Amino acid sequence: MPSASEPPGNSTHTAPASAGGKIIVLGEHAVVYGHTALAGAIDRVVRCQAKPTDGLSTLSIPAWKIEVSVTDEDTPGKALRALLLAARADSVALHADSNIPPAAGLGSSAALCLAVARCLAPDASPEEHRAIAGAGEAQFHDRPSGIDVALSQCGGMARYDRLGGLVPLNVPPLSLVVGLSGVQRSTAVQVANVASKMTSDQGQTATAIAEMGDRAKEGIAALRNGDMETLGRCMSACHEALGIIGVGLPRLDAMVEVAMDAGALGAKLTGAGGGGAMIALAPGREFEVCAALGAENFESFVTTLGATT
C-alpha cells in the first residue's frame, strides 16, 4: 500500500493484516431493506498491526486522526470494544494506517474492522473473520446489511443481498471517477434517518427504495452485457431516488452535474450519502471528467473496481 507507514518499534508487533475498501455502484440503502446491490472492491486498504500491552487496549489510526482506548464511549471506542470481545482478544495496542478517505462511503469502517479481525485472529476462518468484523461494523452502521464487510473480504465485483449474501460477478473491472465532497458523515445517522422517513412519509421512501432495487438488477444485467449506457442510466436514476429518501447533498448534486456535463453516462452519490463521495461512469472520458471536477474545485480520482481479489 503506497501510503502506509510502519508503526513505531514494530519488532514485537504481529504480522500486518489488511483489508480493502469498496464502492457501491447501485442499491445502497435499498440493500438494508433486502434489495439487491451492485458493488466492487477498490485498491485502497487499511493495514493493521497489534502489540500486546499490560494496559488498556487502544486503537490508533493517525491517517484518520483516531486515537481511542477500549473504555471510550465514542463510535471507534465502542467498535474497538466489540471487536476485542468478538475475537476474545487479550489487551492489545492496535496501530492502523489507511489510504481510504474516512467516512466517505468507500468502506473505510468495514476495511478497518476486517483488518483488525484478521490481525487479532490470524488463524480464524473467513466466516469467523466476517463475524468479528461484523460486530465492529455494527457500531459504525445502524443495521448494517453486511455488504461492506463481504466485499472487503471477497474483492472483485459482486451482487449482494441480505438473503443470498455475496455473489461474485464474472465481469471485467469497471473504471469509475470518484469525486470527494469533503463532507464526513455517519452511516448510522443516514440509515436511521431513512428508517424514520420510511415510517413517516406517504410511501415515497418505500417506493424509491424499491425503485433502487429494480435499477440495481437492471444495472447488473447491463454490466454483464457490456451495456454501459444502460448502467449509466441506472446510476443516474438511483441518484434521484437517493435524493427522495433524503440522503442527498447539494454539493454531491453539483458534482453529478459537472460529471454529466463533461460526458459521463451516469453519476450518483455512493454509500450512505449526506456527504462522502460521488461516482461517475465515463468510459474513455475519465480524465476529462476529473479535469471538469477539478476546474470547479472538486477533488477527484479514477479508480478501477474489481481489479483486486
Q: Nearest approach, Cβ of 16 to ligand MEV (angstroms)? A: 25
**187 part of the interface to ligand MEV, by CB under 6 A:** yes
Which distant-in-sequence residues (6+ apart) come within 8 Å of 235 by Cβ?
25, 26, 219, 265, 266, 267, 268, 279, 281
Per rule CB under 6 A, count of chain residues that contact ligand MEV? 15
List the Cα angle 87/107/125 in 5-degree steps.
30
In angstroms, the CA 251 to CA 255 distance is: 6
Q: Nearest approach, Cβ of 187 to ligand MEV (angstroms)? A: 5
Q: Has 148 been annotated as catalytic?
A: yes
**144 part of the interface to ligand MEV, by CB under 6 A:** yes
**Listed ranges 25-33, 111-119, 150-158, 298-306: which one lies at the site for ligand MEV (CB under 6 A):** 25-33
Q: Nearest approach, Cβ of 264 to ligand MEV (angstroms)? A: 21
**191 part of the interface to ligand MEV, by CB under 6 A:** yes
Which of the residues 54, 72, 97, 148 is marked catalytic?
A: 148
CB 260 within 8 A of CB 267: yes
Mask for 96-115, x = binds ligand MEV (CB under 6 A): ---------x----------
Name which of 29 and 47 has its Cβ closer to ligand MEV. 29
Subset of residues 122 to 141 that bind ligand MEV, contact rule: CB under 6 A: 141
**26 part of the interface to ligand MEV, by CB under 6 A:** no
Q: For residue 201, count other CB atoms closer than 10 A to its CB.
A: 15
Q: Helix, strand, or coil here: 92?
A: strand
The residue assigned the cell 483486486 is 308
In angstroms, the CA 281 to CA 297 distance is: 20
Subset of residues 153 to 182 that bind ligand MEV, contact rule: CB under 6 A: none
**147 part of the interface to ligand MEV, by CB under 6 A:** yes
In angstroms, the CA 68 to CA 124 distance is: 25
Choosing from 156, 246, 271, 274, the residue that interacts with ligand MEV (CB under 6 A) is 271
In angstroms, the CA 190 to CA 186 distance is: 6
Choosing from 97, 148, 161, 211, the residue that interacts with ligand MEV (CB under 6 A) is 148
Subset of residues 28 to 47 that bind ligand MEV, contact rule: CB under 6 A: 28-29, 31-32
| Sign of the torsion angle spanned by Cα atoms 177, 182, 187, 190 | negative
Q: Characterise 291 by phi-psi region: left (phi > 0), alpha (psi -120 to 50), beta (else).
A: alpha
**Listed ranges 27-35, 70-78, 121-129, 282-290: which one lies at the site for ligand MEV (CB under 6 A):** 27-35
**215 part of the interface to ligand MEV, by CB under 6 A:** no
In angstroms, the CA 37 to CA 137 distance is: 18
Q: What residues act catalytically?
A: 148
Where on the chain is the footprint of ligand MEV (CB under 6 A)?
Answer: 24, 28-29, 31-32, 105, 141, 144-145, 147-148, 187, 191, 271-272
